[in-house]
């Protein structure tokens, strides 16, 4: 039986670090489901909206060959519900979240992968800002 793998993220300014974690998650052997955090959720967390809208971010992730299913993550507090609703066997996150989701190990396997070094959406924004 194929495993069902779930992961969450903003995926703003799609970059190689995003692709690497999604590829690694897919390699765990199954059906990859990705929760895209909404613009409102980002605004609540960081007091700013992502550069790409939630519709654009969702379409970009959905178009990747390694992704099987996408949905909007509207609230951080609903993570348990999303895992249950999507019948996920494994939760994958980057290790910037290490330990943060261990509470869900009663309903699924929780795995953290090392982040790809030297790239992030915020760094891209910073580089573009400084480049005239």
Q: Where does this chain bind ligand C2G (CB under 6 A)? A: 8-12, 17-18, 21, 37, 73, 76, 93-94, 96, 115-116, 119-120
Comparing CB distances to ligand C2G, the nearer of 9 and 32 is 9
- Selected catalytic residue, list 2, 23, 46, 48: 48
Q: Are strands 90-94 and 3-9 parallel, antiparallel or unpaired?
A: parallel
Nearest to 124 by CA among 8, 10, 6: 10
Give whichever of 4 and 60 is closer to ligand C2G, judged by the CB atom: 60
Are residues 33 and 5 in contact, defined by beta-carbon separation less than 8 angstroms? yes
Residue 49: both structure tokens together:
């909206």
Least distance from C-beta 80 to ligand C2G, angstroms?
12
Closest residue (Cβ) to ligand C2G? 94
Length of the chain: 132
3 counts as catalytic: no
Determine how many CB atoms are found less than 10 A away from the CB of residue 56: 15
132 part of the active site: no
* Annotated active-site residue in 45, 79, 100, 132: 45
List, by residue number, the catalytic residues.
Answer: 45, 48
């Amino acid at each position: 039986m194929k495993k069902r793998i779930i992961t969450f993220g903003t995926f703003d300014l799609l970059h190689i670090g995003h692709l690497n974690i999604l590829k690694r998650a897919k390699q765990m052997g199954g059906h990859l489901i990705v929760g895209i955090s909404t613009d409102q959720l980002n605004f609540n967390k960081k007091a700013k909206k992502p550069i790409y809208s939630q519709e654009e971010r969702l379409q970009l992730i959905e178009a990747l060959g390694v992704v099987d299913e996408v949905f909007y993550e509207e609230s951080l507090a609903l993570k348990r519900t999303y895992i249950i609703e999507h019948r996920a066997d494994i939760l994958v996150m980057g290790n910037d979240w290490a330990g943060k989701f261990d509470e869900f190990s009663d309903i699924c396997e929780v795995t953290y992968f090392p982040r790809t070094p030297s790239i992030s959406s915020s760094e891209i924004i910073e580089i573009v800002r400084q480049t005239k």
